[in-house]
Amino acid sequence: MHHHRSSVPLSLLCTLSSLAAQTAPAFATGTLAEVRERAKAAGKALVIDFSHDAIEPCRRLLQTTWTDAALWKWLPEHALVVRVDPEREAAVAHPFALIAYPTFVVLGKDGTELGRHVGYLDATAMRAQLADLVQAYPTDYRERTKLADALRKKGQHAEALEHYLWIWDHGVEHNTGFGGVRGSFFLRNLASFAKTYEPAKAALEQRRDALEQRILIDQPRFELVQDLVHLDKALERTDRLLTLLEKVPPEKWQGERIAHDVLTEAVLDPLVEQRRYDEVRRLRPDPLKALDDGLRMPFPGGLPESVRKQMTARTIKQYAGYLEAFFSGRDDKTTGPLVERLLELDGSVTTWLVVLKAAERAGNDVACHDHAVRALQELPEKDHDRVRAFLKRK
C-alpha cells in the first residue's frame, strides 16, 4: 500500500482552511422598500447595514464580518440583510437619522426598529447582538447565565459564549444589581470557560485591549480602569497593568485619583511578590495618607457589622504589601505610623501577625523582633501561643 505525501505547502493549506470558513455575503437585492416588504412577507427581521466603502471600518466589515460562514449559516433563518450606501442613497438613509458609519439598524417582523449599533463588529459580536434583538433572549443576567451555562454543558460553546459576552457587555444596562458580581463571580466563571475554549479567551483579550486603547487615547476614567483591572486579574495577566500605569502620562491622572488608586492597588501584589520594593515605594510614597483618604470615603449608612469587619480585614491585608516594602527600606518614619493605624483598625492577633510576616518577608529582623516583643506585651495571654509559634517557625 502506497502513501502519497501531499506536496501542497503548509502555508497554502492554512490559507485554504481559512477560506473554507468564509463565504460570499448573501445581501438581499432590490430597493430598501422592496426588501422591507419581502422580509415582512417572510416573517423575518431585517438588518440594514448603512456603510460607505471610503470608510475603513465599513470596508473591514465587508471583508471580514460579512464573509463569515458561521454568521451566514445562522442568518437566513432569522433575518434578511441589505447593505445601503448612505452617501449614494441619502434620501433612503435620511429617515434613520444616522450619525456615523457603519450603522446597523435592525427592524422587527412588523417593520418597527428593534435596535441599532454604530461602529465595527466582528462576526461573533454581530451574531450576539442580532440574536439578542431578533430572538428576544432574557435580559435578566441570572436567567441569561442559566441559558449560557446550559448551552456550555451541552457542548454548544459558541452559542454559550454569545450569551456570556452579552451579559458582560450589556448586563449592567438591564440589571441594577449586576455591577457587584460582574467583575467577580460572573467574570471568574467566564475566565474559567476561557481556559478551555480559546474563542472565549480571545474575546476577553479583545475587550481588554479595547479598554486599554480607550484609556490611553481618552481620559483613564474609573469605570474603564476598573474593567481593565478585572479582566487582567481574571486572565492572570496583572503584569500588564504596571506597563499601562507607566504609559499613561501623569497629567492624565489629574482628577482621576480613584482610577489611579485602583490601578496602583492592582499592581501591588505582583510587585511585592517579586520583592520589587523600590517600585512599590515609588508608586505609593505615603501609604498612610492613602489609607486615611480611603477610610474617609463615605459608605452607605448602616453597614452590617460582618461587612464592616470584612472590609477592615481586606484593608489590612491590602496595606500589608506597602508595610513590607517600607520595612525593606528600613523606613521607620513610614512603618511606625502605618503599623499604629492598622492596629487602630483592628488590634487583634491577626493584625499583629500581618505586621510580623511583613517584616519577616522584607528581611527586617530588627523590626520583626521589636514588634513581636510588643505584641506579647499588648495581646491577651490566650493569643501568645500564636505569636510564639510564628517566632519558632521563623
Q: How much is the average pLDDT of 82-90?
A: 96
Q: For CA atoms 145, 147, 153, 158, give the dihedral sign.
A: negative
Nearest Cα neighbor of 346 from 302, 315, 380, 383 is: 315
**What is the Cα–Cα distance from 278 to 65, expressed in whole angstroms?**
47
Instruction: Return the pLDDT at 6.
Output: 37
pLDDT tens profile 141-177: 999 999 999 999 999 999 899 899 989 998 998 898 8
Domain residues of the chain, as ranges?
32-135, 138-194, 197-274, 296-393
Alpha-carbon torsion angle 29, 34, 39, 43, nearest 10: -150
Query: Is the pLDDT higher at 309 or at 35?
Result: 35
pLDDT in tens, 2-50: 333 333 343 333 433 344 467 889 999 999 999 999 998 888 999 999 9
Question: In the prediction, which pLDDT does 5 show?
Answer: 36
Q: Where are the beta strands (DSSP E) in 256-318?
A: none
CA distance 156 to 22: 21
The CATH fold of domain 32-135? Glutaredoxin (3.40.30)
The region that residue 24 occupies, defined by phi over 0 for left and psi between -120 and 50 for alpha, beta otherwise, is: beta
User: Contact, 253 vs 259, CB < 8 A?
Assistant: yes
Give per-residue pLDDT as tens, 194-215: 999 999 999 999 999 999 999 9
pLDDT at 84: 97
pLDDT digits (tens, 9 = 90+) for 262-294: 898 888 888 888 899 998 898 889 999 888 887
pLDDT tier, 261 (very low <50, low <70, confident <90, very high otherwise): confident
Q: Strand, helix or coil at 286?
A: coil
- The answer to whether 106 and 118 are in contact (CB under 8 A) is no
How far is Cα 108 from Cα 48, in angstroms, rounded to an integer?
A: 11
Mean pLDDT for 179-192 is 94
Digit-coded pLDDT (tens) for 354-385:
999 999 999 999 999 999 999 999 999 999 99
262 touches 226 (CB < 8 A): yes
pTM: 0.60
How far apart, in whole angstroms, are the C-alpha atoms of residue 102 and residue 57? 7
d(CA 294, CA 247): 25
